[in-house]
Amino acid sequence: MEFVPTPSQTVGPYLHIGLTRKHAKPCIAGPQAKGERVWLECRVLDGDGAPVNDAMVEIWQADSQGKYNHPDDPQSQTADPECRGFGRVASGDDGSCEFETIKPGRVAGPGNTQQAPHLNVAVYARGILLQLYTRIYFAGDPANEQDPVLALVPKERRGTLMAQPDPDRAGGWRFDFRLSGANETVFFDV
Amino acid sequence: MGNLTNERSIVSYHRTPPGSQPSRIHQPYRSTPSRNPNQALIFLPHTLSETTGPVYGHDPIAENDNDLTKQHPGEPQGMRIIVTGRVLDDNGRPVPNTLIEIWQANAAGRYVHQRDQHPAPLDPNFSGAGRTLTDENGVYRFVTVKPGPYPWFNHYNAWRPSHIHFSVFGRAFLSRLITQMYFPDDPLFPYDPIFQSVPDEKARQRMISKFDLELTQPQWALGFRFDIVLRGPEATPFEA
């Protein structure tokens, strides 16, 4: 192969200078976007369970109808202009970060399958040389049972991909990224 | 609800050749073991979720966003440089209109960041952040100063080679690349576990910019060329 992709390198501890100081995007879908509003609170934890205070989380998702705001999405309807579909934030001192968005619709999977509503996530940090890809699903959604990607994950590990509803907050969901060790989040070879 | 059988929805992207990307757990880089999974990654066939990505909706680019020497009233200290190149996919096709963001230390090796407190001076005329879009041929261009090497705490007497951080989006969420551009012949390469985390020697060379006398402007700035290759699609159905 003549053109081989450039190697990835870590974002390092000073990623904020270039990526999140002026260009953080905690709002993936504005207040006018259609769909069920979601406030997603995440934590990034290392192999010792300690908060990772210099991570960056990026999310890419479809709109409430399952349409990606991208020219390669073959569906005929136009994407909701109020749903950017992309967000990114840096983690704080306690390893946490928060996004505002809407629950995405279902998106086509391989063959005749439909994927359950999910957020596509990439995690970056000092010590991460190549971004870690994972997905966030919504616990309790009946579509999870038919999701072709969850079906690739051993049953006992699927829970690591489930955001859990926050009992104290309407529309609130929580998700932990456990980068390593006990109950480690499932990451994908994308 | 998606139409499942449309051929565009089943485009896959190339995987990267073995050794061409860093090892995730690279013991000499001490923070890698606790920040990377122990279990094998689960192989994911590509769906629309992976082959689409944020190509719209970036903030507008402001004047001087691509000239880091003009963001303050005075000029920054250091060696003025031009950094330019093309963004291509692994089919050799240009990647147009894609966002590139960079950040770097100043000429003394100091970042404008509260967590960088090593004893080198800040430069009031240098913030160290830039952004631009590639043109229709995938070409980008920045003007900046050469960053200095700086010490870190990974091991005794650890110093990072001079580098500029690059963030590139490309067309798909899976083509997203964050890397570091290095400078030719840096004597710190053999001692840097981040640079050395990439197993293949040829692949490591792809992170090193090339000095280019033709890009160099007399009495003004040295030119360095840095081409970036992103993962690209297997045959695009509409073009096959």
B179 in helix, strand or coil?
A: strand
The pLDDT of residue B11 is 83
Q: What is the mean pLDDT of residues B199-227?
A: 98
A135 to chain B, minimum CA–CA distance in Å?
A: 10
Asked if the Cβ–Cβ distance from B16 to A4 is below 8 Å, we say yes
CB B204 within 8 A of CB B213: no
Look at chain B and report how many structural domains it folds into. 1
ipTM of the predicted assembly exceeds 0.90? yes
Question: From CA A153, how far away is CA A185, in angstroms rounded?
Answer: 11
Q: What is the mean pLDDT of residues A33-46?
A: 98
Question: From CA B78, how far away is CA B80, in angstroms rounded?
Answer: 6
Q: Where are the beta strands (DSSP E) in A103-190?
A: 107-108, 114-115, 118-125, 132-138, 162-165, 172-178, 188-189
Asked if the Cβ–Cβ distance from A14 to B179 is below 8 Å, we say no
Interchain CB contact of A8 with B (< 8 Å):
yes
Residues of A in contact with B204 (CB under 8 A): 7
Interchain CB contact of A136 with B (< 8 Å):
no
The pLDDT of residue B60 is 87
Nearest chain B residue to A154 by CA: give it: B42
Q: Degrees (nearest 5) of the Cα angle B174, B238, A79?
A: 55
Phi/psi for B204 (5° steps) reads -60, -40
Residues of A in contact with B164 (CB under 8 A): none
The pLDDT of residue B20 is 98
CB A52 within 8 A of CB B25: no
Question: From CA A127, how far away is CA A145, in angstroms rounded?
Answer: 35
CB B179 within 8 A of CB A8: yes
Strand partners, B130: B102
Q: Is A69 exposed, middle or buried (0-12, 13-18, 19+ CB in 10 A)?
A: buried
Q: Report strand pairing: B129-133 vs B158-160.
A: unpaired
Interchain CB contact of B158 with A (< 8 Å):
no
Confidence of residue B238 (pLDDT cuts 50, 70, 90): low
Asked if the Cβ–Cβ distance from A60 to B180 is below 8 Å, we say no
Q: What percent of chain B has pLDDT over 70?
A: 93
Q: Degrees (nearest 5) of the Cα angle A143, A145, A148?
A: 90
Closest residue by Cα to residue A104 from A65, A57, A133: A65
pLDDT at B94 over 50: yes
Nearest chain A residue to B65 by CA: give it: A18
Interchain CB contact of A48 with B (< 8 Å):
yes
Interchain CB contact of B92 with A (< 8 Å):
yes
The pLDDT of residue B67 is 98
The pLDDT of residue A35 is 98
CB A3 within 8 A of CB B20: no
pLDDT in tens, B8-66: 445 899 999 999 999 999 999 999 999 999 999 999 999 999 999 999 767 889 999 99
CB B147 within 8 A of CB B83: no
pLDDT in tens, B179-198: 999 999 999 999 999 999 99
CB A70 within 8 A of CB B53: yes
The conformational region for residue A8 under phi > 0 = left, psi -120 to 50 = alpha, else beta, is beta
Nearest-CB residue to B35 (from A8, A125, A186): A125
Confidence of residue A160 (pLDDT cuts 50, 70, 90): very high
Tell me how many residue pairs between chain A and chain B have CB atoms under 8 A apart: 262
Lowest mean pLDDT among A70-79, B124-133, B147-156: A70-79
pLDDT in tens, A98-137: 999 999 999 999 888 999 999 999 999 999 999 999 999 9
B106 to chain A, minimum CA–CA distance in Å?
A: 12
Q: What percent of chain A has pLDDT over 70?
A: 99
**Any idea which residues of B carry the catalytic annotation?**
111, 150, 160, 163, 165
Asked if the Cβ–Cβ distance from A18 to B49 is below 8 Å, we say no
The conformational region for residue B111 under phi > 0 = left, psi -120 to 50 = alpha, else beta, is beta
Question: From CA A3, how far away is CA B175, in angstroms rounded?
Answer: 14
Asked if the Cβ–Cβ distance from B101 to A19 is below 8 Å, we say yes
Closest residue by Cα to residue B71 from B169, B149, B142: B142
CA B107, B62, B60, A101 dihedral sign is positive
A83 to chain B, minimum CA–CA distance in Å?
A: 10
CB A24 within 8 A of CB A88: yes
The pLDDT of residue B56 is 76
Phi/psi for A142 (5° steps) reads -60, -25
Dmax over CA atoms of chain A, in Å, equals 55
Nearest-CB residue to B47 (from A47, A86, A109): A109
The pLDDT of residue B57 is 66
Closest residue by Cα to residue B46 from B229, B234, B230, B176: B234
Nearest chain A residue to B91 by CA: give it: A3
Helices of type H across B26-149: 48-51
pLDDT in tens, A56-90: 999 999 999 999 999 999 999 999 999 999 999 99
A156 to chain B, minimum CA–CA distance in Å?
A: 13
* Chain centre distance of CA A74: 22
Interchain CB contact of B206 with A (< 8 Å):
yes
Closest residue by Cα to residue A186 from A127, A128, A123: A123
Q: What is the pTM of this model?
A: 0.96
Asked if the Cβ–Cβ distance from B41 to A189 is below 8 Å, we say yes
Question: From CA A56, how far away is CA A12, in angstroms rounded?
Answer: 10
What average pLDDT does chain A have? 97
Q: What is the mean pLDDT of residues B208-222?
A: 98
What average pLDDT does chain B have? 94
Interchain CB contact of B129 with A (< 8 Å):
yes
The pLDDT of residue B3 is 41
Question: From CA A162, how far away is CA A148, in angstroms rounded?
Answer: 15
The pLDDT of residue B209 is 98
Asked if the Cβ–Cβ distance from B52 to A8 is below 8 Å, we say no
C-alpha to C-alpha distances, B190 to A35, A66, A104, B146, B185, nearest whole angstrom: 53, 48, 47, 20, 11
Q: What is the mean pLDDT of residues B198-202?
A: 98
Residues of B in contact with A122 (CB under 8 A): 173, 176
Asked if the Cβ–Cβ distance from B52 to A54 is below 8 Å, we say no
Which residues, 6+ apart, have CB-to-CB distance to B161 below 8 Å?
B149, B182, B183, B186, B188, B189, B192, B195
Nearest chain B residue to A54 by CA: give it: B115
The pLDDT of residue B5 is 43
CATH of the domain at B121: 2.60.130.10
Range of the domain at B35: 1-240
B39 to chain A, minimum CA–CA distance in Å?
A: 8
